Amino acid sequence: MSKASIDDIRLSAGGICKMDIRRLDAIERIVCDDYASGSISREDWLLKLRKHSKVYESGPTPSDKSSEYCYEGSSVLKNKLKITDKGRLYAVENAVATFRIEEILAQNCIRINQFGINTLSRLHQFIFGDIYSFAGQFRTEDIARDGKKFCPKETIKMELPRIAMYIVRGGNFALDDLGHFVQHISSTHSVLNSIHPFRDGNGRTIRLFLTMLARNAGYELEYSLYDKQKQIEADREAMNGNPNFLVAMYSQITVPFDGSYEIQFTDEGEILPPLSKVIHPVSAHVE
């Protein structure tokens, strides 16, 4: 078995999560490489990241807004690694999330509920559970971006089953030709983004979710081919009622999937174990 590196992991995540190596300092890069190669356990990796983050402690980033998810008087999300510097949290969170996303993508076969509430929660918990206590839980406060409010917190659990039924009734996109698929995936992206069910990490969870859906239908979504700022602009336009930018994006990033990725669907109500119980660390997948 050859050794993986953080460069291997970053590339294989396919643009779903942008691990910016420039934001990681030398020590963080070393411990990430050690974990990627299998030299240290996941527990040791997270412990080293937590200990190292203390050298950057400068107090929480001040904020005039109050949020139950943030340290008091701060815009920094409360996290298990106790990182209070916003820049460090951004860098480390993205690194951890990228590893987790690659682990999902490395599966040849995965068993999940029908695409709906349980699936999104399990994915979010798996990606961000090492960082946030709220991972996998729907947000309990309203949030907005660029003055546009996302779905009210009270209606999240009502909206998600509707989009799940839309996907399932469409045959999970498996019979879509390219034109129909692009329209279908663009609409799903738009609705999921408008719901924004979690306090943080929605974009990465949604992109992974849609990539799994696409692979099940025989397509690959190459998000890395599309400029990040243009992706944000497409989301913004969709929130304003204009889906054309998302359609244009998916028209450019959708290609045939030449790998093997089988999804075994179960009933939405079936209780499945956390993904962390059934998916192995990323280094185990590197040949």
pLDDT, one tens digit per residue, over 140-193 is: 999 998 888 999 999 998 888 777 777 776 666 776 789 989 999 999 999 999
Domains and CATH numbers, the chain: 6-102 (no CATH), 108-280 (1.10.3290.10)
Alpha helices in 54-177 (DSSP H): 86-105, 117-128, 156-169
Task: Classify residue 43 as exposed, middle or buried by CB count within 10 Å of its CB (0-12, 13-18, 19+).
Answer: exposed
Task: For the beta carbon of residue 62, count every other beta carbon within 10 angstroms.
Answer: 9
58's tokens: 């400068």
Lowest mean pLDDT among 41-55, 113-127, 166-180, 227-241: 166-180
pTM for this one? 0.89
Determine phi and psi for 132, rounding to 5 degrees. Answer: -120, 140
Question: Does pLDDT of 100 surpass 80?
Answer: yes
277-283: average pLDDT? 72
Query: What is the predicted pLDDT for the residue at 135?
Result: 96
